[in-house]
Each structure stands twice: as C-alpha cells, then as structure tokens.
C-alpha cells in the first residue's frame, strides 16, 4: 500500500486566497483525521471522520475552515479566506478502527503533510 | 480532560549513550491507549508503539524499550546505545477508550544524538 497520500506537499499562497488540501487515506481504513502542527500549539486535531461522517470537529478553528469526505478514498480541508496565522503543517492520517467502545484502538498512519505558508 | 506532558523539550546526548524520554498523561477514563511517534527531520510521523491501559507489561524492541506505569501515569521511552539516526522529535500521545478516536499529543521532545 502507498500509505496516506497528501497533496500538495508545499503550498504558498497570498492572504485572502482559498486553499484546498487533499488526502487519500489507506484503502480499507474507515477513520480519517486532519491534524495541524505549529511551533506554538504543537499537533492538534482539527476534525475526524468515521465512515465518511464527521464525528468530532471541535478542533476546527473557525468558519474559515471546512472539511469534507465525499467518499472513502478522498478528503479535503479547505481554508477560505486564508490568513498568515494559518501557516502550519497539515497532516492527514487514517486508521482502520471505528468508534465503538471495546473495539480497541490501533495506530493512526500519517501522510507526509502539507506545509502551508500564507503570506 | 485528557492531557499529555512531555517535560523535556530538548535532549542532547553523545552517540552510544542511553537516553530516556519522559511522558506523563492525564485521563479520567479507565480504558485508554498510549502511543509514541517519531518525527525525523524529514517531517513525517512514524508510529513506534501502542499500549492499552490494561497491559502494563514493559516492551522491548531492539534498542527501544517502553516503561508503562499506571501508578504514576507515565509511559517513558528509553533508547539504548543511541545512534545519530535516532535524532528526531518524539511525541507521546493518548487516546481515550470512549467513542472518540482523537489522539492528544504531547509537545514533543527533540532528541539530538551527536557523533
């Protein structure tokens, strides 16, 4: 398997522009996560999906951020309009387990990340 | 609320030294999962180990070992005979056993192994 695939790897955009980050999870995984990494806040969960349904979006900073998962093999994270404080590395991760208690928990497999710079 | 604390921000050692990275966690759940990830300079996050709260056995994998102690809410990571390739940022993470699969990460410990 190719692992979790994110695109683009690097994105430089001007303040106010729309940015779309893309993720292809590992085939067969039913949970997908978007994390953001900054020096100040470290790694923080933005949103995660289970079976394409958003389960926890409490980490989404504000209305400028939105995420979709139209099918099991694709997800997007969109920022509109972008601001310099959105500059960070955005990671997508997937996991094969669902939300039911008792199923245990396995590790999340991370993509290479997208380094976003908003100028 | 769940929380992970990695008190050591940076550690620098000389090759072949042993080094222990500390991780202390907080959770109200009786079922939870602990993880360690490695982030080398290339930036990706690499999974190292998973532990559930019912398994306190220590684990050894080559030069890596992990010490899980529920009594002190700690899950420490030791690298024996460190090598330059071990230089990376290491993250400890916690996932509670309830409905959410959310991973809460510590701030990470940057390990530098000098030749």
Is A115 exposed, middle or buried (CB count within 10 Å of its CB: 0-12, 13-18, 19+)? middle
Q: Across the interface, which of B43, B52, B101 has its CB nearest the CB of A95? A: B101
> Nearest chain A Cα to B50, which residue?
A107
What are A57-68's pLDDT values in tens digits? 999 988 999 999
What are B5-57's pLDDT values in tens digits? 999 999 999 999 999 999 999 999 888 999 999 999 999 999 999 888 988 88
Least confident of A1-5, A47-51, B24-28, B103-107: A1-5
**Which residues of chain B neighbour A91 with C-beta distances below 8 Å?**
45
What are B73-91's pLDDT values in tens digits? 999 999 999 999 999 999 9
Q: Is B33 on the interface with A (CB under 8 A)?
A: yes
C-alpha torsion sign, points A112, A115, B2, B4: positive
Say whether pLDDT at A56 is over 70. Answer: yes
Q: Is B41 on the interface with A (CB under 8 A)?
A: no
Say whether pLDDT at A79 is over 80. Answer: yes
What are A2-36's pLDDT values in tens digits? 899 999 999 999 999 999 999 999 998 989 999 99
Instruction: Give the whole-angstrom CA distance, residue B115 versus residue B106.
Output: 28
**Which residues of chain A neighbour B46 with C-beta distances below 8 Å?**
110
Provide the shortest C-alpha distance from residue B108 to chain A (in Å).
8
Structure tokens at B5: 């604390």
Say whether pLDDT at A85 is over 50. Answer: yes
Hey, are the CB atoms on A56 and B97 less than 8 Å from each other? no
Q: Quote the longest CA-to-CA distance of chain B.
A: 45
């Amino acid at each position: 398997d190719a692992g979790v695939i994110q695109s683009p790897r690097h994105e430089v955009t001007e303040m106010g522009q729309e940015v779309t980050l893309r993720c292809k999870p590992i085939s067969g995984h039913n949970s997908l996560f978007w994390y953001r990494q900054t020096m100040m806040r470290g790694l923080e969960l933005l949103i995660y999906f289970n079976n394409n349904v958003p389960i926890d979006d409490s980490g989404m900073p504000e209305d400028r951020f939105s995420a979709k998962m139209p099918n099991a093999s694709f997800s997007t994270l969109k920022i509109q309009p972008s601001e310099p404080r959105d500059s960070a590395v955005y990671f997508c991760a997937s996991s094969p387990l669902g939300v039911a208690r008792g199923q245990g928990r396995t590790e999340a497999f991370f993509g290479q990340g997208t380094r976003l710079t908003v100028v | 609320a769940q929380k992970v604390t990695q008190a050591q921000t940076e550690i620098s050692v000389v090759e072949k030294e042993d080094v222990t990275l500390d991780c202390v966690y907080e959770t109200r759940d009786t079922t939870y999962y602990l993880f360690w990830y490695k982030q080398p300079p290339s930036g990706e996050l690499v999974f190292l180990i998973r532990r559930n709260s019912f398994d306190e056995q220590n684990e050894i994998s080559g030069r890596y070992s992990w010490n899980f102690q529920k009594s002190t809410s700690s899950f420490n990571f030791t690298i024996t005979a460190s090598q330059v390739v071990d230089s990376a940022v290491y993250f400890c993470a916690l996932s509670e056993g309830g409905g959410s699969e959310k991973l809460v990460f510590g701030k990470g410990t940057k390990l530098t192994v000098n030749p």
